[in-house]
Structure 1
Amino acid sequence: MKNFSIPFGKEKITFSLPDEQVAGVLLSHAHEYKAPKSEAELVADALANPIGSPKLSELAKGKKTCTIISSDHTRPVPSHVIMPQLLAELRKGNPDIAITILIATGMHRPTTHEELVAKYGKEIADHETFVIHDSRKDEDMVSIGTLPSGGECLINKAAAHTDLLIAEGFIEPHFFAGMSGGRKSVLPGIASKITVLANHCSEFINSPYARTGVLEGNPIHQDMLYAAKAAKLAFICNVVIDADKKVIAAFAGDSEKAHYAGVDFEMKLAGVKPVPADIVVTTNGGYPLDQNIYQSVKGMTAAEATCKEGGVIIDVSACSDGHGGEDFYNTLKDAADIQKAMDDILARGRNETVFDQWESQILLRMLLKYTIIMVTEAPKDMVEAMHMKYAASIDEALAMAKKIVAAKGVSELKITVIPDGVSVIVKE
Structure 2
Amino acid sequence: MANIKVPYGKTHWDIKIPDENLMGVLESNVNEFKPELTQEEIVNRALDTPIGSPKLEELVKDKKDIVIITSDHTRPVPSKITMPILLERIRKVNPDIDIKILIATGFHRASTREELINKFGEEIVENENIIIHDSRDDESLVKLGILPSGGELWLNKLVEETELLIAEGFIEPHFFAGFSGGRKSVLPGIAGAKTVLANHCSEFIASKHARTGILDRNPIHEDMLYAAKKANLAFILNVVINSKKKIINAFAGDCEEAHLEGCNFLLDISKVDKVDADIVVSTNGGYPLDQNVYQAVKGMTAAEATCKEGGVIIMISACNDGHGGQSFYDNLANASSPREVLHKVHKISRDKTIPDQWEFQILARILDKFTVILVTDMYDPEKIRAMHMEHAYTFEEALEKAFEIKGKGAKVAVIPDGVSVIVN
Could you say whether these structures have the same fold, taking a TM-score greater than 0.5 normalized by the shorter chain as the test? yes
Q: What is the match of residue 72 of structure 2?
A: 72
- Cross-structure match for 2:316: 316
Write out per-residue CA displacement over residues 110-156 of structure 1, whole angstroms, 9 at most, x where no aligned residue: 00111111111111110000110111111110011110000000001
Question: What SS does the aligned partner of 1:19 have?
Answer: coil
Deviation at 1:363?
A: 0.2
1:417 is the counterpart of 2:414: yes
- In structure 2, the residue matched to 1:248 is 248
SS at match of 2:176: coil
Contact 2:183 2:256 in 1 (8 A): yes
User: What's the secondary structure of 2:297's corresponding residue?
Assistant: helix
- Tell me which residue corresponds to 1:400: 401
Which amino acid in 2 is paired with 1:255? C
Deviation at 1:90, TM superposition (A): 1.2
Partner of 1:366: 366
Report the secondary structure of 1:86's partner residue: helix
1:403 aligned partner, one-letter code: E
Please state how far the C-alpha of 1:353 moved relative to its aligned partner: 0.2
Give the secondary-structure state (helix, strand or coil) at the position aligned to 1:312: strand
Is contact 2:281-2:415 (8 Å) kept? yes
Which residue pairs with 1:149 in the alignment?
149
CA distance in 1, matches of 2:173, 2:144: 28
Write the deviation string for residues 72-122 of structure 1: whole angstroms up to 9, x where unpaired: 000000000100111111112211110000000011110011111111111
| Residue equivalent to 1:55 | 55
Instruction: Give the ranges of 4+ consecutive aligned residues of structure 1 lying more than 6 Å apart after TM superposition.
Output: none
Q: 2: distance between equivalents of 1:149 and 1:7?
A: 38
Q: Secondary structure at the match of 1:190?
A: coil
2:380 equivalent in structure 1: 379
Please state how far the C-alpha of 1:160 moved relative to its aligned partner: 2.4
Deviation (angstroms), 1:20: 1.5
**Helix, strand or coil for the counterpart of 1:319?**
coil
For 1:45 and 1:318, how far apart are their aligned partners in 2?
Answer: 36
CA contact (8 A) 2:338 2:365 kept: no
Percentage identity across paired residues of the two chains: 59
The answer as to whether partners of 2:337 and 2:388 remain within 8 angstroms in 1 is: no
Question: CA offset at residue 159 of structure 1?
Answer: 2.2
Per the alignment, in what secondary structure is the counterpart of residue 90 of structure 1? helix
Q: Write the distance in 1 (CA, Å) between the matches of 2:338 and 2:79.
A: 40
After superposition, the C-alpha distances for 1:357-406 in whole angstroms (9 at most, x for unaligned) are 00000000000000000001211011001000000100000000010113
Q: 164-173 vs 114-123, which deviates more?
A: 114-123
1:235-290 deviations in Å (ceiling 9; x for gaps): 00000000100000000011111101101110011100101100000000000000
Aligned to 2:117: 117
Instruction: Tell me the amino acid that sits aligned with residue 12 of structure 1.
Output: H
3-state SS of 2:20 partner? helix
**How far apart are 1:302 and its partner, in Å?**
0.1
Q: Unaligned stretches of 5+ in structure 2?
A: none
TM-score with structure 2 length normalisation?
Answer: 0.99
Moved more, 286-295 or 59-68: 59-68
**Aligned position for 1:207:** 207
Say which is worse superposed, 418-427 or 116-125, in terms of deviation.
116-125
Q: Partner of 1:266: helix, strand, or coil?
A: helix
The CA distance in 1 between the partners of 2:53 and 2:297, in whole Å, is 36
Q: What amino acid is aligned across from residue 381 of structure 1 in structure 2?
A: E
Q: Which residue of 1 aligns with 2:259?
A: 259
Aligned equivalent of 1:15: 15
- 2:84 matched to which residue of 1? 84
Q: CA deviation at 1:19?
A: 1.3
Name the aligned partner's letter for residue 391 of structure 1: A
The residue number in structure 2 matching 1:235 is 235
CA distance in 1, matches of 2:313, 2:160: 43
Q: Within 2, Cα distance between the matches of 1:116 and 1:63?
A: 27
Cα deviation, 1:59-80, whole Å, max 9, x if unaligned, reads 0022111000000000000000
Between the aligned partners of 1:94 and 1:56, the Cα distance in structure 2 is 11
Matched residue SS, 2:255: coil
SS of residue in 2 equivalent to 1:403: helix
Match of 2:139 in 1: 139
Give a deviation string over 1:320-372, Cα, whole Å, max 9, x none: 00000010000001001321221110011110100000000000000000000
Distance across 2 between alignment mates of 1:337 and 1:236: 43
Question: 2-side partners of 1:295 and 1:26: how far apart?
Answer: 20
- Structure 1 CA distance for aligned equivalents of residues 313 and 366 of structure 2: 9
1:321-332 equivalences under 5 Å are 321-332=321-332
Give, in whole Å, the separation in 2 of the partners of 1:251 and 1:36: 16
Bigger CA drift: 59-68 or 351-360?
59-68
1:401 and 1:413 map into 2 onto residues whose CA distance is 9
Name the counterpart of 2:102: 102
TM-score, with structure 1 as normaliser: 0.98
Give, in whole Å, the separation in 2 of the partners of 1:337 and 1:397.
22
Say whether residues 1:4 and 2:1 are aligned partners: no
RMSD over equivalenced CA pairs, Å: 0.8
Structure 1: which 5+ runs fail to align? none
CA-CA distance at 1:28 after TM superposition? 1.0
One-letter amino acid of the counterpart of residue 196, structure 1: V
Distance in 1 between the 2:86 and 2:15 partners? Answer: 42
Which stretch shows the higher mean deviation, 338-347 or 266-275? 338-347
In structure 2, the residue corresponding to 1:20 is in which secondary structure? coil
* In 1, Cα distance between equivalents of 2:412 and 2:243: 22
Deviation of the 1:413 alpha carbon? 1.4
1:12-35 CA-to-partner distances (Å, cap 9, x unmatched) read 111211212111100010011101
Determine helix, strand or coil for the equivalent of 2:107.
coil
